[in-house]
Amino acid sequence: MYTFFQTEKYARFTKETPYAFAGHSSIGVGGIAAAAFSPTTEEETVALITALEQDGVPFHVLGNLTNVLPADGVSKRVVVSMKKLRGVQKNGNLLSVRAGTTAGALLAECKRLRLSGAEFLTGIPCTVGGALYMNAGVGGAYIGKIVESVTALYDGQIITLTQADCGYAYKHSAFMQGGFVILRADLRLSNEKIEIIQDRIRDFDERRKHLPKGKSMGCVFKNPKNAVAGRLIENAGLKGMRVGGAVVSREHANFIINDNHATARDIKKLIALVKNAVFAQYKINLEEEIRYLD
Total number of residues shown for the chain: 294
> What is the pLDDT confidence band of residue 6, given thresholds at 50, 70 and 90?
confident
> What is the pLDDT confidence band of residue 8, given thresholds at 50, 70 and 90?
confident
Sequence-distant contacts of 233-241: CB under 8 A, at least 24 apart:
233/274, 233/278, 233/286, 235/281, 236/274, 236/277, 236/278, 236/281, 236/282, 238/273, 238/274, 238/277, 238/278, 241/270, 241/273, 241/274
Given this model, what pLDDT does residue 184 score? 98
How many Å apart are CA 276 and CA 77, to the nearest integer? Answer: 31
276 phi-psi bin (left φ>0, alpha ψ -120 to 50, beta other): alpha
> What is the pLDDT confidence band of residue 1, given thresholds at 50, 70 and 90?
low
Share of residues in the chain with pLDDT > 90 (%) = 92
DSSP letter at 250? S
Largest CA distance in the chain: 58
The per-residue pLDDT for range 76-92, each reduced to its tens digit, is 999 999 999 999 999 88
- Helical segments of 78-126, H only: 103-113
The per-residue pLDDT for range 142-198, each reduced to its tens digit, is 999 999 999 999 999 999 999 999 999 999 999 999 999 999 999 999 999 999 999
Given this model, what pLDDT does residue 19 score? 96
* Residue at 286: amino acid letter: L
Burial category of 191 from C-beta neighbours within 10 Å (exposed 0-12, middle 13-18, buried 19 and up): exposed
Query: Mean pLDDT over residues 265-278, rounded?
Result: 98
Phi/psi of residue 130, nearest 5 degrees: -65, -40
Q: Are strands 94-98 and 88-91 parallel, antiparallel or unpaired?
A: antiparallel
Three-state SS at 246: strand
pTM to 2 decimals? 0.95
Given this model, what pLDDT does residue 9 score? 85
Query: Mean pLDDT over residues 2-17, rounded?
Result: 82
Q: Are 86 and 63 in contact (CB under 8 A)?
A: no
